[in-house]
Amino acid sequence: MAFDATPQEEGGTLCPRCGVQFQPKRSNQSFCGRECQKATSRHAARGARTTENAQRNRDHYDRAAWLCYDLNRMAPWKRPAHLSKLIIAAKVGNAKLRNILTDPKLLAASRTAPIGKLYPDSHNCDVLNIAKEANAYCRERWSIGIKEAIGTKDHPPHADVMEEPEGELIGPVKETYWQRLRRERCL
Residue range 58-97, pLDDT digits in tens:
999 889 988 888 888 888 888 888 898 898 888 888 899 9
Question: Is residue 132 a contact partner of residue 107, using CB atoms and an 8 Å limit?
Answer: yes
Q: Are 111 and 125 in contact (CB under 8 A)?
A: yes
CA atoms 144, 146, 151, 157: torsion sign? positive
Angle between helices 50-73 and 130-142 (to 10 degrees): 60
The model's pTM is 0.62
**Residues 92-128: tens digit of each pLDDT:** 888 999 999 999 998 888 776 666 656 555 555 667 7
